[in-house]
Amino acid sequence: MEKYQIIIFKNKKKLRVLKSYKSEKRALDFFHNEIKSNQEIKFDVKFKNANNSNYEIGFLVKNHIDKFFFKKDEYGRQNKIQISVGDYILTKIENYKKEELIYDISNKKRIKFQTLIYQYLKKDNLKLVYQINNKLIIQIDNSFHFFSLKNEYDSRRLISCLSDYFKDHKRNDAIFIDDQSKLQKKYIYKLLKENNVDLRPFYRRFTTYGGN
């Protein structure tokens, strides 16, 4: 029986066991490597089924009832934490990012942030990137690509993540527009209509997906 477990928590509840080990060193190596690689995720899940979702990764040891750790609260105070999951005691916990997927409307599939970059935001053209409700729009001249997010907050957040990505990579081949005014929305609807785009899906403000 493995003595060490790495577990993913969702909203403080056990979601799944990520890995189990007999060796403490191997378990700790995996735990720290997972945290490091996880930080590379640029656009993470904030909602599931319209509810806020918070993920954490924990390191647990079996049959060590004396194990505990300290964690800062929102006021900076150090609080003693002792949590058990079955026969295991939580000894370390860190924030964890679960990658959010973006619905590609034209191709009817969900894609990753990096796929959006490599497939639709190549360096060879100037692009306009903007949103209306929960939809993200990438415009290259008179060509449009449409993507759907769970809600308006996620579509704004995606624009912010994309803008940060371009700044970090010193790219200036895209213009990001984060204008939520009625005048801007009216302009977008008019632009889409002039390009024979069906406007009905763009009036919707949110979409929910299942899963963990």
- The pLDDT tens digits for 71-115 are 666 667 776 666 778 888 888 889 999 999 999 999 999 999 999
Q: Model confidence at 49, in pLDDT bands (50, 70, 90)?
A: confident
Mutual angle of helices 113-120 and 152-168, in 10-degree steps: 60
> Tokens 């949110």, residue?
206
Which residues on neighbouring strands pair with residue 13, listed in sequence order?
Answer: 10
Q: Do the Cβ atoms of 58 and 30 come closer than 8 Å?
A: no
Q: Do the Cβ atoms of 24 and 13 come closer than 8 Å?
A: no
Q: What ranges do the domains of the chain cover? A: 4-96, 102-203
65 has a pLDDT exceeding 70: no
211 has a pLDDT exceeding 60: no
Q: 204 to each of 59, 135, 149, how far by Cα in Å?
A: 41, 9, 11
Quote the CA–CA distance of 168 and 160 in Å, as a whole number: 12
Which of 37-41, 59-63, 205-209 has the highest average model confidence (pLDDT)?
Answer: 37-41
Ranges of H-type helices in 61-210:
113-120, 152-168, 182-194
Say what the pLDDT of residue 87 is. 86
Q: Model confidence at 56, in pLDDT bands (50, 70, 90)?
A: very high
Say what the pLDDT of residue 69 is. 62
Q: Which amino acid is at 125?
A: N
